[in-house]
């Protein structure tokens, strides 16, 4: 009799468990590669029993909440779920779900008793009828752009599943590249003699050398290696152009520094080479004063940025502007 009872309980649990087919249908209804949790489906998806593992990201991208991490990791999470869905269209026992407070459904966050976000909950397969507030594992959410690499490594370590990240096809970049190549070939065919003059120009090669110097000294390679975002948001949801510390640098920050370096280089070159050759003494004097003043202003801005990034740096010129 006891054996029969156990068998019946196990059979009932198996029948009541949410199946992979049901999870796939919910994913299709969400219109993407992950399940959008709503008031009507969150209990069905997260409560046991279940036959699959469900990795659930809980965020709040509302500007009034001020969760900059939630906003920054959203594209990385989308890349993660798109990559898994592309290689495993049937789910292969692993599904992703997400609930964002900005899309409504506060019942989900109240049911889970959340008081801070982002959270990454992992619900494993189970035959028990556990509520959604139990039976899950909390994974760490790194407060940086390394989110996707961290989750991929954790999936491999704890779930034994490999996620191959796929970069989305940049059709715009491809179209620009093809168009640029075709334009270059057309120009080369019709204006070849001018190309010979260009490639033998000292001015052109000098400018190209300065361009390379600016790229390598302003952190362009650093940004590409680290995968830093172009721009971030602060706790109030406002754009953030600079971040403190020498180990972090945004894409737009690199462009600002490049522009300052470029203007400094041009002003110094003009001051040394062009200004002395001006025939009118008054004009020459005015140009020299202007360029010297421009150099002082640019160096002041540059030092202000350096002070912001290097806490405790004592030197400055003019207090014109600061990224704070």
Domain ranges for the chain, please list them. Answer: 2-159, 201-309
pTM: 0.55
Residue 219 burial by CB count (10 A; 0-12/13-18/19+): exposed, middle or buried?
Answer: buried
Going by DSSP bridges, is the β-strand pair 35-36/232-233 parallel, antiparallel, or unpaired? unpaired
- Output the CA–CA distances (angstroms, integers) from residue 78 to 88, 143, 150, 155, 249, in the order listed: 15, 17, 14, 16, 23
Whether the per-residue pLDDT at 208 is higher than 90: the answer is no
Q: Give the whole-angstrom CA distance, residue 259 versus residue 33.
A: 40
* Residue 144 confidence class, pLDDT cut points 50, 70, 90: low
The fourth-level CATH superfamily of domain 2-159 is Glutaredoxin (3.40.30.10)
Going by DSSP bridges, is the β-strand pair 239-240/35-36 parallel, antiparallel, or unpaired? unpaired
Cα 80–69–65 angle (5° rounding)?
125
Highest mean pLDDT of the ranges 112-116, 132-136, 158-162, 219-223: 158-162
Q: Give the whole-angstrom CA distance, residue 125 versus residue 60.
A: 27
Q: Give the whole-angstrom CA distance, residue 275 versus residue 286.
A: 10
For residue range 85-143, list pLDDT tens digits in order: 999 999 999 999 999 988 887 889 998 888 889 999 999 999 888 888 988 999 999 87
Which DSSP category does 222 fall into? Answer: H
Highest mean pLDDT of the ranges 2-6, 34-38, 62-66, 260-264: 34-38
Cα 280–283–289 angle (5° rounding)?
140
Going by DSSP bridges, is the β-strand pair 94-100/35-36 parallel, antiparallel, or unpaired? parallel
């Amino acid at each position: 009799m006891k054996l029969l009872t156990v068998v019946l309980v196990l059979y009932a649990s198996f029948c009541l468990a949410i199946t992979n087919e049901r999870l796939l249908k919910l994913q299709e209804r969400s219109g993407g590669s992950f399940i959008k949790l709503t008031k009507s489906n969150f209990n069905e998806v997260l409560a046991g029993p279940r036959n699959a593992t469900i990795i659930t990201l809980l965020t709040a991208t509302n500007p009034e909440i001020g969760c900059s991490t939630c906003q920054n990791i959203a594209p990385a999470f989308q890349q993660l779920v798109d990559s898994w869905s592309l290689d495993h269209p049937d789910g292969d026992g692993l599904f992703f779900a997400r609930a964002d407070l900005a899309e409504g459904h506060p019942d989900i966050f109240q049911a889970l008793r959340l008081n801070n976000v982002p959270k990454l909950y992992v619900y494993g397969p189970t035959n028990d009828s556990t509520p959604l507030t139990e039976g899950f594992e909390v994974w760490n959410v790194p407060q940086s752009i390394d989110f996707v690499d961290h989750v991929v490594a954790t999936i491999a370590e704890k779930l034994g599943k490999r996620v191959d990240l796929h970069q989305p096809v940049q059709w715009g970049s491809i179209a620009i590249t093809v168009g640029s190549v075709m334009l270059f070939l057309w120009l080369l065919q019709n204006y070849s003699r001018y190309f010979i003059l260009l490639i033998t120009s000292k001015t052109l090669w000098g400018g190209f050398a300065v361009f390379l110097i600016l790229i390598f000294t302003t952190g362009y390679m650093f940004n590409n290696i680290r995968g830093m975002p172009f721009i971030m948001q602060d706790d109030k949801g406002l754009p953030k152009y600079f971040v403190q510390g020498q180990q972090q640098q945004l894409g737009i920050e690199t462009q600002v520094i490049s522009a300052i370096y470029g203007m400094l280089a041009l002003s110094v070159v003009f001051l040394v080479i062009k200004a002395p050759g001006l025939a009118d003494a008054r004009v020459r004097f005015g140009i020299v004063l202007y360029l010297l003043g421009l150099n002082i202003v640019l160096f002041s801005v540059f030092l202000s940025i350096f002070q912001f990034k290097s806490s405790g740096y004592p030197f400055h010129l003019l207090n014109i502007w600061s990224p704070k």
